[in-house]
Copies of this chain bind each other. A is one copy, B any other.
């Protein structure tokens, strides 16, 4: 529902980019890596705290069965993005006006892709 913080967002990105579930230590390592040379080496507890918060927000789940718990994103990055878009759209009365403007801002290629998608949906 709410906007993610910087670190929360980075963790989500790492989870989304990973094909399989990760442990807190995996994430700590990848965070250090991702931050380039200036890596700050976060404490594992920091990562765990963030993961707990993301879990509370229903963005990640974990497998508690085996000891190093493994965390995974609940939904795909794309699904989450769509949720955000719909949230933005949420209470607006004139949705069509918004969509019109939105489409006005996308590239020709994307507009073309949209037409195809819409036609596929129609014929389906």
A residues engaging B (CB < 8 A)?
Answer: 2-3, 77-79, 81-82, 84-89, 92, 94-105, 110-111, 113-115, 117-119, 121-122
Contacts and interface: CB of A to CB of B under 8 A. Distances in A.
A114 B122 contact: no
A94 B117 CA distance: 14
Contact of A99 (B89, B95, B114): B114
A23 to B, nearest CB: 25
Nearest to A1: B3
A121 B77 CA distance: 29
Give the interface SS of chain A, mostly helix, strand, loop or mixed: helix
Given A79-B101, A81-B88, 9 more contacts: A3-B3, A78-B98, A81-B98, A82-B98, A85-B85, A86-B102, A96-B110, A99-B113, A111-B121
Contacts of A78: 92, 94, 97-98, 101
Contact of A89 (B85, B96, B122): B85
